[in-house]
Structure 1
Amino acid sequence: MSEILKIINTYKNQLKNEDGLLGEIYFHEKGRLNINDGIFHFFKKRINEISLEEKDLDLRLTREKLLLGFYDNESVWKKFVVFTEKGLYAFSTCNNDDDYGEYDNILNVIYWDDLEAVKLEYNDDGKHAIRFQIKEGNGNDEFYHSVKRYGLAGEYFGANKYLACKLIFQLLNDINNKNTELNSVRQEVFQKKIDFIDKAIHAGKYKDVLSKLILENKDDYRARYFYHNYRIQAFYGLGENLNIINEVHDFRKFYDRNNFIHDSTLFYLYGMAYQYNEDSLNSIRWFNRALDEESKNETKDLDEIEELQSHIENSYEILKKEFAEIPIQKRKFIFMSDKILSSEMEGLVVLKTNDPPEKLKFPLSHPQLNEVYTFHPNNSSSYIPLKVYQKELFVDKLREFLLLLDVLGATKIDVINKNRNIEKNANSSEKTFGGKADYKFVGANVDYKKEKTDEDQLERELNLAFHQKLSPKKAPYIPEGLIWFHTDINWQRMAEQRMNGSLMSHRELITSKQIESLSSHELTKVNVELNALFAKANVDYQKDDFSKSSSENHYALEIQVEFEDIDNLKQVHINTPNTLLDSNQTSKINLDKYKDDVLFMLEDDGVIDEVERKLLDRKIEKYGISINEAEQIEKELMFNNDELKYLEEYKLLLEEGVIGEIEESMLERYAKRYDINKERKNIIERSIIKN
């Protein structure tokens, strides 16, 4: 029997015999409250509804949890008060919706652990009430606003006389004193356990920590925190990194079950878990969330803020070292800031302008503050300003091709502009933007001038319709350091023909559409995320400029070339045995790329719709693979109805967190049910994991 129920039972006879207590009183007998079914269900439904709606609490009251109940139906208002192990719930509802419709339901919740003291208030006019002194902190001012201001009138308990209200006060006071005493004992015992665990952690006895840690009170927040926190430290000491993440997931589930708002404590544990796993991107993200929450508190803990900032800086140092090893899809975009901010968008990383990773390459005079960059599709360590990425990639590819033609023995090169698709308002020679941040960026609310149009600039830089005559002396060769060459099978075939001496002239069309690596959907997501990042950096931002610049400016150049007869060129020794990619190797690379594209299309629903079909057809053409090869890959990856069912079950388990032993066992049973062998099972799972 619980201590609170013992106290209630000592008052049982007094409560039954007190003439001043009107209405019904219900006691806990035979394991449950002996309340009438109709009354219980009437109030249970309404209390659960209003607790969720107004206090974001899911009480789920049951008769087994209720220790004492008071029901008063003597006035317009029906009043119902129940005691539990956690606290008391006082509910009132009005019978007359016409007169009291706006105030027809009132719920007050008082937790014993938040209670400092109880006082009895008696006025000369005969009104009496019980006042509650609430402990400070933990958001109590807002949660207990009504209780602290008004208390609970004796009428809630059916107490219409002073002595009856005094009896209720004495009961509440005894419960509070006993709970305070129990908390003191619990604290002493708890502290001894903490001291023991601390010594074991420092001594490296991690297995002892895991075996000795017992979660005695699963509903106690503080016990939960220390339980999971010490298990995380123990798993880290044992090198069991996967269990570290699972432990934080379990703590988050405790929050969700109790409808707790995710707070800085939870975010901090996530940050530590990912830091232990050497995942700097996620550790920075979670530590920043914790810092944001902690900074919002009226009573800021400066020591905690300083500790979080230190964790963020340490994680950033790790990020700088491991940046090149991070999968490109997780660092497709970078935003340069003067602070270590976190991005909520997968694929966008925030770096410090004056302290970027050493191995990154930027154009001359870059990186710049508040600038956004995207990676070079054929050189993942190089980043280009996002505002001009399409033009820069186009120019980069064109220059490399002209260089290639030169060393292959070109005598005449003509570059012809085949497409003048200039952005709207191209006739204006100058555009001016105003703002408060020194930030050169299309669409940002800042001071800068954009002279003429992008195509004008391209014409000045390359002289689009130019003729060049050359006098080659060396035999054709493939220079080192080419980037685009190794991904373009047409260039490789042309070079091979030229090296063999059979090619005397050639035409090549290079368009900006061929090298687009970013979709409008991606650019829209970037705009949305930058809106949030610029707010943190105190920079005004106007969205949608990325997608506009991508869709409105396209370039198409035809390159016409004539070559010298290879017999007329002096043969010289050049070190190029491995520079020309084997066509079989290139074909395999492109087939793997197409397989990744198909997996991406199948990720959402397991089928290829009309829009996705068109995109894949363009990929087939771009990669230079055959229709038969493409169909074979799709046939291998496409899922039947049973495989789609397995895919849905797999997605549901992934949403819960990391797949552990229990989840893997469930997946094995699903695979057996749907008659899916191990090879197909792996393919289905990779279709989600890969993307």
Structure 2
Amino acid sequence: MIHQETFNAFVDGIKKIHTVHDSDNNFWTESIEKYVKTNDKDFYIYPNIPNFIIPVIRENFALNREEEILLFRDHSFWNSKNQGFVITDLGFTDVLYDHIPRHYYWKDISHVEFAMYSLYVYDKSSVKCFEISENDLSKNIDGLLYFWADVMNSMINTQKQKSHDEIYEEYNTQYGKLIEQGKESEALQVALDYRRIEKRADFSSRIAWLYHNMGEDVRALQILDEDIDKLDEDDLIGKSFLTYHKYSLYVENKDFLNARKSCLYVTKNAPAGLMNEDDISILEDATNDFQIYEDYYIQHFLEQPYNERKLIVPVQSYTDLSQKKLAVVDINNLPAINFPMGHPVANQLYVGHPYIPSKYIPFENYELELIEDKIREFSQIMQYLGATEINIESVNSSSNNKDSKIDQKLSGGVDYKLVSGSGNAERHITNKLLEDISQHINLHQKFSPKKYPALPENLVWYQNEPSWQRLYSQRMQGALLEHEERIETKKSQVVENSELKQISAEVKWLFVQVNGNWEQSMEEKFEAHENAILSIHVKFAPLDSLGKTSVQDTIKGTIQNSMNSLTSYASSVGNIVHKILPIDMTDIEKEYLDELKACLEEDGEISSRERRLLNRLRERLGITEGRAEELEAFLLNPQLTEEEQEYLDEYKICKEEGEISSREKRLLDKLRVKLRISENRARELESSLDLN
């Protein structure tokens, strides 16, 4: 492929030679004209080189097929073209009487000097490596060799390797001009070209924000992640700068949970003097931001999907939040969750109950507690349904690591992603789950039921066990006297065996960062267990032998018990409803309030005609006159909390100073999160101010 810049430098040089003239010497001008247009048998200059001799020159001078021949001087006898001098876009080649081509490439040459009717060629070490005689290039025109020095130096300069700073400056100038012209798509392509060709991350943050502006946040974050991973581990400036923009992108998308993780990295690694585009210290900005995201995380912890908060590790201080399986929390600032007596303990792993969001259990015995809890609830339901006898026995149990021995010790400096270990610490792994169950649960029980069957209150597992629900229906039909239920440990095993390896690695890594080493005293926690099956055999008393209750009362009692159970379950899930207004409103009342706002928007008053129409609308919507007065009073004189008033005051100040900038919007959003005001409520407060 032709080296276009070098080729252009040659063509430009020929044009300059062509324009050389001396008004007092017509011979000189005529000689130059003839020179640049020459096509003699022993001297050819581009573009006047016949196609039929080009293959001959390539072969005799051992030229690359991709080289463009620009000048040929034939020194051979009989014009056989096997001796002489050739200039190409890649360099020049000389063949003497020995017929051995000697190649000199522009990229290896420092410069060319003109002196004593010759051109002297110097290599990168400033050593003279070749001499070009006047006869090679001047073709009997005195003084022409001087111009050839300029041409050849221009060709050399096009192939000099530019520094990273020079290359970056060229791209940056082009990028800046396109941004100023509003051509973001073209600017993005320039930045992507630089990233691809130079394999550097200088434009990565700008690429990410351009993708964000185009609504392609997934691609934006992918770019940042790829380039952060490519940087050297000790490049704290580059990694911190890109991670700062990464968490800022998360904030733009209201993803404060992931923003918290990335923000911590910046607080731990950003150099003190590193500034963002607004000349603000990245370290100080991230430190302030982290506290906001941390407060949000703790406040909304139980609102996360179960798999996001299933496993937690309380720590005394944060060192790393990059874990994918673990939720790491500050032991001194815990969410609203409950632990067993004597807990939590720092650097210990806990598992969340699948149906009681606020309940967390130590990982080492969570399977036992969950299966015990499940069996007890089933037994309680059976007892309420009139059971006379309950027998529990094991169908099978085994461990895929039974009787195996493992020696491991993890020392500081190990990447938890590798899950590697070395050292020594002996122990034997055995599966004691069923033995523990038999010690905690009575395996044989007898009852003497008196009451008519009904469901107990505050059930946890029942809503998620279809077989139990069918059993209840069968029992209430009166024909069921015996039943066998099988309960498997894998169905209450919230941590899959496939997850254990990564969980173990992440817990170890956290421990290494705190203490510098890992002793394998609890390694058996992370060993996968095979499924254990418990068979529960139940015998029931006949329905007609139990206390009589009317069908209607039975149905009412069952519905009430089910509703109480469902209500308890829904409450335990901890769904938080953010009120848009300080008073509860139905959709119909919101419709009325919207019309009321519309009447007030123009002059802040309601005319008699508008009042008559509002009253007619109120009646049609079924809203009482008193309730309408409450809604109107709130709209005209809203009651705000201290936090809402603080937010509204800051918003008012920003509005008074003119159009709110993107930076101010971001700071207002941070303040909103800090004050624990929902986004909808903030918009309502802003609208009320704009209305007034």
- TM-score normalised by length of structure 1: 0.47
Task: Find the structure with the greater CA-based Rg.
Answer: 2
- TM-score normalised by length of structure 2: 0.47
